[in-house]
A = this chain, B = another copy of it.
Amino acid sequence: MSAYDELMAFQRETEALGQIAGRLGWDQETMMPEGATDQRAEEHGAIANVLHARRTDPRIGDWLDRAEAPDDAGAAQLRLIRRSFDRTMKVPAALAAEIARTTSRAHRVWADARATEDVAAFLPMLDKVVALRREEAAALAQGGDLYDALIDDYEPGGSGAELAAMFDAMRPRLVALRAAILDRPQPKGLSGNFDEAGQLKLSTLLARTFGYDMDHGRIDKAVHPFSSGSGLDVRITTRTAPEDPFNCFYSTIHEVGHAAYEQGIDRAYLLTPLGSGVSMGVHESQSRIYENQLGRSRAFTGWLYDQMRETFGDIGVDGPDAFYAAVNAVRNGYIRTEADEVQYNLHIMLRFDLERALIAGDLQVGDLEAAWNDRFAADFGYAVDRPSNGVLQDVHWSEGLFGYFPTYSLGNVYAGCLYKALTRDVPQVNERLAKGDTGPATGWLRQNLQQFGGLRDPKATIEHACGEAPSEAPLLGYLEAKFGELYDL
């Protein structure tokens, strides 16, 4: 066997083990009996150790030195393997283990602190997590920017300065749009009897409608919806809330976006580095364009309105226009994950600026809550009422996920670019969405983006699909047009 073939065979087994580890996480959130927690922690640790040993196997370095790529895809495989190997080898094993131990503890401390609204109880742990991730970033950056080194794990090639420039351009326009909307009368909300069985039935219909392949996936309930797995086994979860069927439906469509990306990748890349989504930002572009630009469009909500009436009878709003307004209602709220298209990115930018300052050493953990509250008041116009609605709201920092938040907004920006290109290339998109046919849209995304998996870098992936470099302009234009019309601005 050639060095390339040996490396790829080794990698293939590592990818298969990675899929097993991922499915263990799926099982934990959907199927695991409650009393199994302690044993599961050991199981997770064991498979994580196996994966770490494989990812730091010195033979990878030897193979990489000798491997010759058979073609362009092979060259991309080698590039991704090299990238991952170099990153892994830069972080001392002891540090990696301490980060795993500390974030596992910090996660529990955070959950307790959030339940008791006790910021002080969490801060010492957060301080440790920040210190460890800074240490890791220093090992990775080798003199470069610390935060960039962390972003790179989620968004290869991402840059804090570039994101900051993009977000700074977006923020004033979003703050202004939000304020203008909230000066206008609120649309009427839904009311009715949204039984769980009906929600789940319609949720499955929506998943199928958006092209989710149930022969290579399944839908279960979970507290926090997610998508899991690559290749031939890509599962999603959803949730139901008795009074808020949109939560279920748009969670499902969002996760179908993630899953369709994984399911849409060229099968020739199965169980290889090219066989998964290329970055968190590009992943989020798929979930967001499915959920928002397509799923919350006037065209598609017209079809959904009929489905909901058929399933639930009277839903408290009359006609597709009122329904469209209800789907896209903009309301005050503290919680990122419940935010609408207009306000969502403001929540992200707040977190991005604060975590970037924490990693840079420009903000101390002790000052974090005040900084959060000041910024929230500035952008949203009212005060945070309690820590669980503010600085203790998200799980990410307890898990050490610094550099992750901006990929959510980057995904929205990318979705804006893709939607612009899609409507340019496929003029009949909305006409078909109005009939519940997402085919022209999802087919275009599969053809121009999803099938390529990790073949190109994230930005190049978007640029290839759109025919131009990504920018925040299309998203802002889309939001201002859509909500300007909706709210008569």
Contact = CB atoms under 8 A, between A and B. Distances in A.
A215 B34 contact: yes
A357 interface: no
Contact of A33 (B36, B45, B214): B214
Contacts of A19: 39, 43
Given A23-B24, A32-B233, 20 more contacts: A12-B42, A13-B45, A17-B43, A17-B46, A17-B50, A19-B39, A20-B20, A20-B46, A20-B47, A27-B27, A31-B31, A33-B215, A33-B216, A33-B217, A35-B232, A35-B233, A36-B232, A39-B233, A40-B233, A42-B271
B216 A49 contact: no
Kindly name the residue among A27, A42, A215, A217 whose own CB sees the greatest number of chain B CB atoms within 10 A.
A42
B216 A46 contact: no
Nearest to A235: B33
Given A215-B34, A216-B35, A16 B270 contact: no
Nearest to A39: B232
A36 B229 CA distance: 11
A42 B16 CA distance: 6
A255 interface: no
Nearest to A214: B33
Interface in A202-253: 213-218, 231-233, 235
A43 B50 CA distance: 14
The oligomer's copy count stands at 2
Contacts of A213: 35
A36 B216 contact: yes
Nearest to A50: B50
16 contacts: A13-B45, A13-B46, A16-B47, A17-B46, A23-B24, A33-B232, A35-B213, A35-B215, A35-B232, A36-B216, A36-B232, A36-B233, A38-B232, A39-B231, A39-B232, A39-B271
User: Top 3 A-B pairs ranked by shortest CB distance?
Assistant: A16-B46, A36-B233, A35-B215
Contacts of A20: 20, 24, 43, 46-47
Contacts of A43: 16-17, 19-20
Contacts of A12: 42
Interface residues of A, number: 39
Contacts of A217: 33
Contacts of A37: 232
A39 B213 CA distance: 16
A31 B218 contact: yes
Contacts of A16: 39, 42-43, 45-47
A17 B216 CA distance: 25
Contacts of A13: 42, 45-46, 49
Contacts of A38: 232
A234 to B, nearest CB: 9
A33 B233 contact: yes
A14 to B, nearest CB: 8
A70 to B, nearest CB: 21
A45 B72 CA distance: 29
Interface in A258-288: 270-271
A148 to B, nearest CB: 34
A213 B35 CA distance: 9
A214 B35 CA distance: 9
Nearest to A19: B43
A217 B34 CA distance: 9
A109 B216 CA distance: 25
Contacts of A17: 43, 46-47, 50
Kindly name the residue among A19, A33, A47, A231 whose own CB sees the greatest number of chain B CB atoms within 10 A.
A33
A35 B33 CA distance: 26
A37 B46 CA distance: 25
A371 to B, nearest CB: 42
A50 B35 CA distance: 27
A32 to B, nearest CB: 7
Interface in A43-68: 43, 45-47, 49-50
Contacts of A218: 31, 33
Kindly name the residue among A31, A214, A270 whose own CB sees the greatest number of chain B CB atoms within 10 A.
A31
A38 B46 CA distance: 25
Nearest to A47: B20
Interface string A166-186: 000000000000000000000
A367 to B, nearest CB: 41
Contacts of A36: 216, 232-233
A24 B233 CA distance: 13
